[in-house]
Amino acid sequence: MTLRICCGLVVCVASTGAIGAPDGVVSPGEGWTQMFEGVHGAPFSGGSLSNADFVGESSAFNWWDSGAGVNRMFDDNRADIIDVWVRTDADTLHLAVSGPNVVFNNWFAGGGPGQDNDQGDIFIAIDASGSGAAGALAAGGGHSSFGGVKAVDFDGWSPTHVIGVQYADNGGGGGGFANLFDTGTNTEIDGDLQFAADGGFEWAWTVAGNGDGVFEFEVPWSMLGYEAAPLGAPLRFSVYTTQNFPASDTYDSGPAFANGSLTEQLGDNPGDPDSGGQLGASDPGSTGQPGSNFVGGSLGGPPSHNDQVDTIEEYYAWPVGGGVSCPGDANGDLVVDFDDLNIVLGAWNTSGPMGDVNDSGFVDFDDLNLVLSNWGIACN
């Protein structure tokens, strides 16, 4: 059994199941590759070199209650995407996300209407096609099993699957629920309560000391269309949060470096179509506060900057490593080169995890020597 201390001084007791089941803890030595916006974000360059996304956007604090015509503001950035990790073995894709606590059903965030408890969903859009980035996915073709589709579409790439977290039970009851959705067939492949170790799609959570939610997911490669890990194949994925209700757009997404200048502004004001170069969260004609809000009209059209549907064009790019060991590979691209050297030097004398290629908990000469001794190796 695992003891979890949850918000509201509720003590949650849950079984972690069999050895190897997700536990909601990202630990050194488990083989995780941390995603950094400025390293793994594609197809645009730039962004954070310390987190998976910029931290503390105003939209992560707010949602627009169109029924009441008022903004609902949390007392912290409940919907923020902060860190993302990925790893894989021969049979399973492992993903982890930290930051958002907006899915917890026993959470105090101000005490007012629309502030506390479960105020959102978490999604991970995955392109596991194994081919190059191409195409688009309209909002109407996205995840729809939580009561309807969200006002989120994709341009320049087309996710084949979406992980969704509907809510996490930290004392409010119900057991939590998350699932894996196939966008090709518009069906749920598998869904589970939290901590259910059944050998299929599985998920678990913890709450960090700073109040951030930490979520870990396991997806069998067979559910993504492979008999085993497709070594070296390109994997693309993006993480985003929305309000609970159908046709709601995003609070936040990661990576999203380009969204403020090149692509559609996510987490913007209600009524903001992002057309005519109006990419800010306070464009003329928009109302309320930036954050997740209800989007009316059809969600079946192609991605466009002339509507209120939030368009995700950026993603984390990661070649599947499978069981391949690649000593000295700091960024997970299965090649040891100047990118890895720069990551190690940039994190010198820190606790990592960026640059800590030997998983010792510190970036030092041992990491530098591991990069240099494997220089030029292509592990794929």
Task: Report pLDDT digits (tens) over 209-227.
Answer: 999 999 999 999 999 999 9
Q: Of 314, 313, 339, nearest to 326 (Cα)?
A: 339
* The pLDDT value given to residue 216: 98
Summarize pLDDT for 157-212 with one digit per residue, the tens: 999 999 999 999 999 999 999 999 999 999 999 999 999 999 999 999 999 999 99
Q: Of 194, 213, 208, nearest to 13 (Cα)?
A: 194
Run of H or E residues at 175:
none
Report the chain's mean pLDDT, rounded to a whole number.
85
Q: Of 75, 58, 63, 72, nearest to 280 (Cα)?
A: 58
Q: Of 235, 172, 222, 160, nearest to 7 (Cα)?
A: 172
Whether the predicted pLDDT of 4 surpasses 50: no
What pTM was estimated for this model as a whole? 0.82
Whether the predicted pLDDT of 335 surpasses 50: yes
* The pLDDT value given to residue 173: 97
Name the band, by pLDDT with cuts 50, 70 and 90, for residue 12.
very low
Phi-psi map region of 297: left, alpha, beta (phi>0 left; psi -120 to 50 alpha) = left
Angstrom distances, CA of residue 271 to CA of 47, 206, 333: 27, 36, 40
Please check whether residue 86 is in contact with residue 33, taking contact to mean a CB–CB distance below 8 angstroms: yes
Please check whether residue 197 is in contact with residue 38, taking contact to mean a CB–CB distance below 8 angstroms: no
Question: Which residues are paired to 255 by β-bridges?
Answer: none
Please check whether residue 330 is in contact with residue 340, taking contact to mean a CB–CB distance below 8 angstroms: yes
Q: How many CB atoms lie within 10 A of CB 64?
A: 25
Whether the predicted pLDDT of 80 surpasses 60: yes
> How many angstroms separate the CA atoms of 59 and 61, rounded?
5
Most confident listed range (58-67, 236-245, 321-330): 236-245
Which one is predicted more confidently, 28 or 284? 28
Q: Of 276, 281, 278, nearest to 266 (Cα)?
A: 281
CATH topology of domain 325-380: Type 1 dockerin domain (1.10.1330)
Whether the predicted pLDDT of 257 surpasses 80: no
Whether the predicted pLDDT of 2 surpasses 60: no
Whether the predicted pLDDT of 7 surpasses 90: no
> How many angstroms separate the CA atoms of 72 and 120, rounded?
13
- Hey, is 184 helix, strand or coil? coil
Whether the predicted pLDDT of 3 surpasses 70: no
Terminal CA-to-CA distance of the chain, rounded, Å? 39
* The pLDDT value given to residue 115: 96
Q: Outline which parts of the chain fall under CATH 1.10.1330.10.
A: 325-380
Name the band, by pLDDT with cuts 50, 70 and 90, for residue 327.
confident
Name the band, by pLDDT with cuts 50, 70 and 90, for residue 288.
low
